[in-house]
Amino acid sequence: VVWQYPPVIEVYNVREHGRRHFRTLEYTSNMSLCVHEVTGEPYPDRVNGILAMSAGIPMTTCTHLPSLIISRALSSEIGVQIHIPERFLAGVLPMALMENYVFWQSEDDNLIGYEKRNHDTENGSDDEGLPTSGPTNRLNITLVKDKGDDKVGFCNSKASALIQRVPIVDVIE
């Protein structure tokens, strides 16, 4: 992916997971403009005459690995959801969101991010055995797809997304 302004190059690898193809971020020419931290030691690089810290290896190859699809059906209203591992959202969503949420894709291709639970004590509960803290919000990520189809099946369709944070109110009975 090449961005004209500011000039940035991002290289993604296409990996198969559960008979679907996903992009994984392998290289960025400017770490300060990338929404995810690329593995590897940063090194100075020039893109369009601008010096920046690059990271990753642009010519990375991947081997085919076994995969497992995790799906669930919480209710008829939500429908079936499929778990999307973090590695397939790298470079697409900011790292701060990926560290704090677990993402599930609905049948309409939209994503829901459920906040990861944090525990204040070693065993994760208070004196009564109840969780010390629970989720306080959820992310709704609505995909807006372009009209064109992906004819080759390698993540080439275009879309934009609307990310909304929705507060969760605990009901105490």
- Cβ neighbour number for residue 34 with a 10 Å cutoff: 21
Cα–Cα dist 90/133, whole Å: 27
pLDDT computed for residue 3 by the predictor? 72
pLDDT computed for residue 140 by the predictor? 92
Cα–Cα dist 22/60, whole Å: 15
| Ranges of the chain with pLDDT below 70 | 1, 18, 21, 35-36, 43, 47-48, 50, 118-135, 149-157, 170-173
Is 115 in contact with 138 (CB distance < 8 Å)?
Answer: yes
pLDDT computed for residue 104 by the predictor? 92
pLDDT computed for residue 125 by the predictor? 46
In sign, the C-alpha dihedral spanning 26, 28, 29, 31 is negative
The closest alpha carbon to 35, from 102, 103, 93, belongs to 93
